[in-house]
Chain A
Amino acid sequence: MLIKLTGGKIYDPANNVSGEIRDIYVEDGKIVAAKPNARPDATYDVKGRIVMAGAIDPHTHIGGGKMTIARMLLPEDHRGDPVTRTELTRAGSGRSVPSTHVTGYRYAEMGYTACFEPAMLAANARQAHMEMGDTPMVDKGAFVMLGSDDYFLRQLAAKKDFNSIKDYVAWTMHAAQAIAVKVVNPGGISAFKFNQRKLDLDEEHVYYHVTPRQIILTLARAIQELGVTHPLHIHGCNLGVPGNIETTLATIRAAEGLRVHMTHTQFLSYGTEGDRKFSSGAARLTELANKTPNVSIDVGQVLFGQTCTASGDSMRQYAISKSAHPKKPVIMDIECDAGCGVVPIRYRDKSFVNAMQWVIGLETFLLFDDPWRIFLTTDHPNGAPFFFYPHLIRLLMDKSFRDDMLQKINPDAQAQSELLKSLTREYTLDEIAIMTRAGPARSLGLKDRGHLGAGASGDITVYRDNPDREAMFATPELVFKNGEVVVKNGKVVKVVQGATHVARPDYDKSIEKPLNDYFDRYLTVRMENFKLADEEIIGGDNGAIIVQPTAARAT
């Protein structure tokens, strides 16, 4: 099966193609070099259209226990957005924590072809993958959380051989079917169970006597030496606390040249200036991050409206419970492994703090130089639900629209937004394509995603050029998944099941001996049952597994 897209304006930054008119050929699901003499089975005339690879969301909470807790918690979230079954698609509900099928459809209808769940607990991995299995249309993958799990902390505290820690990290990635590793409030989720209410970068965990700095360094080094492409994904200490910009800058410096990804930095870039002792740290963050090439970030932009925050950071989620709206926070301590906090929230443009959060996110985007190291996220649903992405893209691409929106926010926040007002940058289509496709693919190590060169999978999004970038990005004209049209004019026309991407660094299998003893001694699940078999994803969830390459293990 050969298909051809003719005459499109191609934005493919991974292959240095910027707005050139080119034909694209897809054969049996993969993009191939031009075959001018071949007779395609189908031709799509996309003259004047903008063509990009399918978009990739590298940080979106789409699967796992905390999302289903959020769904259970918030029937009111769904009531206003019922989704009716069609001949093609399943019923469900939308809004900020949509049902699984609806999540898949709506991502695809927005031109996305891959989504990565960034906070999978190893203890909850089976359910996270089952939920992602019920999320059609898009490829999936998940980052497993480490750093507050007892086994890791006790090894670190006992100053165990670094190689065995590496083996454990790799083993966990295999067991949980993960593509990357995330650390959330390093050690803090565990510390909260010991009634510590904060844990600074150099503060000791009251029981293990290790610090977040040690945890970050150990994990970042382990990931790097294991050859995992995506660097340690860090949700730092003191999330949401005024003044946390100091911690965040210190965390970046703490990496000591190791590759790290700082996630949803908006929530971690708060200063203490101004009458309200709450100010933007975006300038300081970007100043340091711009000159620190080992660091990538995503923003976690806040956009106004009702949403629900859902995080592994039980310590900080407990702390913000007071601002829950509606007032029903859920906090969980989980399996001596992790935790979670689900706190519904309404971001109001008339609230000073919420308006500042909006400002800080935008400043971060506009001040960060290298689009290859910054990814477009709202940390769905934490900053805003993912369907706000087109709106966010317009804010970044359209200075006058941004200024109009700025007029509507809390006046004190406006008064503290001289910097934002002065930023004239407008993101280009190339930069958007990098930030939403090429960059995440490169960072996650997805060799055949996020670009349109030969060998890439036929995941392609076609937009009608429209100066209103929000409208343009909200409703792609065509979306192809593996070379098949799955969305037309922003509506699903064919339902497909995406693959699950994993990474499998080498490890010494003998680690299962002490691990098995540990499981038997302390835990309530057998090690053999903890591990998620390929067959569960392939047979049980009707899925497929793509093992992305890892580099050779280094010492």
Chain B
Amino acid sequence: MPSISPRQPKGKRVSSGVFENVVNPFCGTLCDDLVVERTEAGLKVVKNGCSQSVAGFERKLPPANPSVGGKDVALSKAIEEAARLIGKAKLPLFGGLATDVEGMRAVMALAERASGVVDHALSEAQYRNLKILQTTGWTTTTLAETRNRADLIIIAGSDIHRLHPRFFERIVAPPASMFDVTAPKRTIVFIGKGLDRSGAKGAHIGEVVTLACNDDAAGHIVALLRARLRGFRVTPPKRGGVTLADIDALAERCRKAKYGVVVWAPPALDFAHAELAVEQFTGLVKDLNQTTRFAGLALGGAEGAVTAATVCTWISGYPLRVSYASGAPDYDPYRWTIGRMLKDGEGDVLLWIASISPSLVPPPAKVPTIVLGTPGLALTAPASVFIPVGTPGVDHAGRLIRVDNVVSLPLKDLGRAELPSAAEILSAIEAAL
């Protein structure tokens, strides 16, 4: 059974203490500078918190027991029933996948063994990126690189401040940067009118520019920008209040930038064929790299989405949406989409992992559902089997991969609740098959 850094073996936990360098698992950017205090009353974020980490760490867990058909049972019974349901299924679906590296390893092993399909709850957003990566490639950067180097940051059609409440504080407007990229040099451009701009302030921020198009038109505006950068004549935009002069002014800023970063968050680009907007963002980066330096930075990645895609890739060769029905991984990002499969009546049992936040509920399913969830998971329908599991970095140790696809971080056991990890339960189910 996988175990990692059991710093505090179950049952022998300290009742209070202060934890430093704590990673926030509730957001894809994995801030790791939190200070969290543990008392009899629970956890409290005492330093470097944000609305999401406070909500995540300080949430009081309701009591939760393993259950089968809505009735509380012993954990071993629930595992047995989960194994029975998976064992007799022809095509089990392994969805949600909000877990850590260890949980993903275990779910991959189980899916292989049970000839099932793996897909993450937030794959739809990730695939806005992956479709472009797999078609055209791209040039990207990471959080620390952006923090220290960017003199132009273009926030494209995504409400970054809402998704990542500390992104501006830590990356856009940090107190210090390596190469003295500070005001008036650091220009922030928002493309979209619904974006929270309140983070773009501070001693180190120069100009803040807004191109107030509808947020879903950012791709269109960037396409016009690319055309103007190439010297083409274009029909003036009819998108919100953006004029050709605004676009030309941005083109000039791009040309003059030494290191421009285009930031977007795929979860925010929630409209049909949003990958085409992503293609414009990465295309802008590609165009400008011929003469200066530009890079993309895609955010999002909550609920362990990046971890799930990454671990699935190194184990199977493919980033999620993989079926093991034949015994070997078969990749089809359309066919093996669990959301679609459930709607279309495909698959005959759903195992759903939601160990991070209580809102990641499974989609409505007509098939039996096994849920490995954090206590308080707001299920809309009772699960056939429910097994409460711990949150990585809160109830047990673990590791997560950060949204920029490079850095991964160790998660501490803060000893909130005596709950097994998803990895432990998944391995036990596999052993019981």
A residues apposed to B, CB below 8 Å:
65, 67-69, 71-75, 77-79, 82-85, 90-93, 97-102, 121, 123-124, 126-127, 130-131, 134, 150, 192-195, 207, 318, 321, 324, 327-337, 342, 521-526, 528-529, 533, 535-536, 539-540, 542
Q: Is the CB of A101 within 8 A of B329?
A: no
Residues of A within 8 A of B328 (CB): 82-85, 91-93
Q: Is the CB of A93 within 8 A of B134?
A: no
Q: How far is the CB of A260 from chain B (nearest CB, A)?
A: 28
Contact of B5 among A130, A330, A533 (CB under 8 A): A533
Q: Is the CB of A524 within 8 A of B143?
A: yes
Given A85-B113, A207-B179, is A93 in contact with B407 using a C-beta cutoff of 8 Å?
no
Comparing B77-85, B182-190, B224-232, B315-323, the segment that makes contact with chain A is B315-323
Over the window 53-81 of chain B, the binary record of Cβ atoms lying under 8 Å from chain A Cβ atoms (1 yes, 0 no) is 00000000000000000000000000000
Q: How far is the CB of B29 from chain A (nearest CB, A)?
A: 8
Among residues of A, the one whose C-beta sits closest to the C-beta of B328 is A82
Residues of B within 8 A of A75 (CB): 134, 317-318, 331
Q: How far is the CB of B162 from chain A (nearest CB, A)?
A: 20
Q: For the complex, what is the distance from the CA of A126 to the CA of B23, rounded to whole Å?
A: 15
Contact of A536 among B5, B33, B258, B331 (CB under 8 A): B5
Q: How far is the CB of A151 from chain B (nearest CB, A)?
A: 10
Over the window 145-164 of chain B, the binary record of Cβ atoms lying under 8 Å from chain A Cβ atoms (1 yes, 0 no) is 10111000000000000000
Among residues of A, the one whose C-beta sits closest to the C-beta of B326 is A84
Flag whether B293 is at the interface (Cβ < 8 A).
yes
Among residues of B, the one whose C-beta sits closest to the C-beta of A124 is B406
Within 8 A of A (CB), among B168-194: 170-171, 176-179
Q: Is the CB of B316 within 8 A of A524?
A: no
Residues of A within 8 A of B408 (CB): 124, 126-127, 130
Contact of B21 among A73, A74, A330, A529 (CB under 8 A): A529
Q: Is the interface of B mostly helix, strand, loop or mixed?
A: mixed
Contact of B318 among A69, A93, A329, A528 (CB under 8 A): A93
Chain B's interface size range is 35 or more
Residues of B within 8 A of A131 (CB): 314
Comparing B101-109, B236-244, B266-274, B344-352, the segment that makes contact with chain A is B101-109
Residues of A within 8 A of B249 (CB): none
Q: For the complex, what is the distance from the CA of A90 to the CA of B176, rounded to whole Å?
A: 47
Given A75-B318, A540-B102, is A336 in contact with B149 using a C-beta cutoff of 8 Å?
yes
Flag whether B15 is at the interface (Cβ < 8 A).
no
Q: For the complex, what is the distance from the CA of A124 to the CA of B404, rounded to whole Å?
A: 11
Q: List 24 A-B contacts (CB under 8 A).
A: A71-B318, A72-B134, A73-B133, A73-B137, A75-B134, A75-B317, A99-B314, A102-B317, A123-B407, A124-B408, A126-B410, A127-B310, A192-B293, A330-B140, A331-B137, A336-B145, A524-B144, A525-B32, A526-B32, A536-B399, A539-B6, A540-B4, A540-B399, A542-B2
Q: Is the CB of A524 within 8 A of B401?
A: no
Q: Is the CB of B315 within 8 A of A522?
A: no
Contact of A522 among B21, B142, B144 (CB under 8 A): B144
Q: Is the CB of A82 within 8 A of B314?
A: no
Given A334-B145, A336-B149, is A529 in contact with B410 using a C-beta cutoff of 8 Å?
yes
Q: Is the CB of A332 within 8 A of B406?
A: yes
